Amino acid sequence: MNFETVVTCAVTGAGDTTGKHPGVPVTPKQIAEAAIEAAKAGAAIAHIHVRDPETGKGSRDPELFKEVVDRVRASDTDVVINLTAGMGGDYVVDGDNPSKAGPGTDMIGPIERLAHVEQLLPEICSLDCGTMNFGNGNEIYVSTPPYLRKMAELTKKWGVRPELEVFELGHIRFAKQMIAEGLIQEPPLFQICLGIPWGAEQTVDNMKVMKDELPANASWASFGVSRMQMPMAAAAVALGGNVRVGLEDNIYLDRGVLASNGQLVERAVGIIERMGARTLTPAEARTKLGLRGG
C-alpha cells in the first residue's frame, strides 16, 4: 500500500478523442489551462502532449510545447511538468507494398524526438521503452534499442528524469538493461501502461506481475484506459504505486458523462483518501521521486 501517492494527470494525449469530447484541450492555451486545472484539483504532475490547433491532431512542434510550458510556468500554480517524448515513432506499413512506409507514417530520429525537451528542460519526459503493434491496422510504434539508448543518454546529460513507459514485460526487461548500463539515473521512474491495444491487458494480475519485475528501488505509477481508469488507480495504490488519470486515457467521469481533467483528478484523489492514503504536493513529489530541485 502506498500511503503517500503522487497523482499525474495526462491532460490531452494525441489520440482521436477531440471528435468524441469537445472538452479535450487542443490549443496551447487550453492545454496549459488543463494542466493548471489538474494541479489545483490535486495532481502533482501534468503529462503534456500538444496538438495542431487547426486539426486537433497530435503534434510534435517544439513551438507549441514552448507556448504550453511558458504559460504553465508563468502561472501561480506549481506543478511538475512531464513532456511526452513519444511522438515521431509512428510507422504505417503500406498495404500494397510492405517494404514502404504508408500514409500516416511519422518517423524521426532520437535527437529530433527530444528537440523540445532539450529546449525546455522539463523535470520529466516520457520514454516509451519498446516497439509494439498499435491498434488493429498496420500501425506500429517504433522505439528501437539504439534510439532508446541515445534518448536515455541525452536526458541524463540534461538532468531530465525519463519516465520509463512500459506496455509489456519485454519493455521492462530492456529498461532494466539500460539501468544496468548506467544510462538511467537512479532511482528509476516507471509508468506501467495497461489497456493500450496491443500491450498488456488492464488487470490487477498484470499490474502486479509487471510491478514485481521492476528494480527494487524503482518509483512507479500505473494507469488503465476508459472505464478501467479508476479501478486501475485504486489497484496501483493498493500495490504500492502512484496514479495517473486524465483525458488522454479516459474521457468519461461516469457512464455517458463526459469529464474534465479536474474532475478526473478529484475522483482519483477521493479514492486515494478513502483508501487511507494522501496525495502529495508537487514539492513533495519532487522529493519522493528524486527530481531536479527536489
Q: Please tell me the predicted confidence (pLDDT) of residue 27.
A: 98
Query: Coil, strand or helix: which one is 19?
Result: coil
Q: Range of 285's domain?
A: 4-289
Residue 73 lies in a domain: yes
**What's the pLDDT tens digit per position in 139-194?**
999 999 999 999 999 999 999 999 999 999 999 999 999 999 999 999 999 999 99
Residue 217, domain member (yes or no): yes
- Of 23, 6, 13, whose CA–CA distance to 252 is shortest? 23
pLDDT at 110 over 80: yes
Q: Report how far apart, in Å, the C-alpha atoms of 13 and of each of 46, 83, 188 are.
A: 11, 11, 23
Summarize pLDDT for 7-48 with one digit per residue, the tens: 999 999 999 999 999 999 999 999 999 999 999 999 999 999
The answer to whether position 33 is within a domain reads: yes
pLDDT of residue 294: 53
Q: What percent of the chain has pLDDT over 90?
A: 97
What's the CATH number where 175 sits? 3.20.20.70
Q: Is residue 223 part of a domain?
A: yes
Q: Is residue 203 part of a domain?
A: yes
pTM of the model: 0.97
Mean pLDDT score of the chain, rounded to an integer? 97
**How far is it, in rounded angstroms, from Cα 158 to Cα 171?**
23
pLDDT at 196 over 80: yes
Grid cell digits, residue 232: 486501475
Query: What pLDDT is recorded for position 292?
Result: 79
Q: Which of 157, 168, 214 is nearest to 187 (CA)?
A: 214
Task: Note whether residue 294 is domain-resident.
Answer: no
Identify the residue whose cell numbers are 510507422: 91
Residue 135: pLDDT band (50, 70, 90) is confident
How many domains does the structure of the chain reveal?
1
> Given a cut of 70, is residue 52 above it in pLDDT?
yes
The per-residue pLDDT for range 229-259, each reduced to its tens digit, is 999 999 999 999 999 999 999 999 999 999 9
pLDDT at 94: 92
Provide the pLDDT confidence category of residue 293 given band limits of 50, 70 and 90: low
Q: Give the mean pLDDT of 283-293.
A: 92
The per-residue pLDDT for range 80-97, each reduced to its tens digit, is 999 999 999 999 999 899
Considering the domain boundaries, does residue 159 fall inside one?
yes
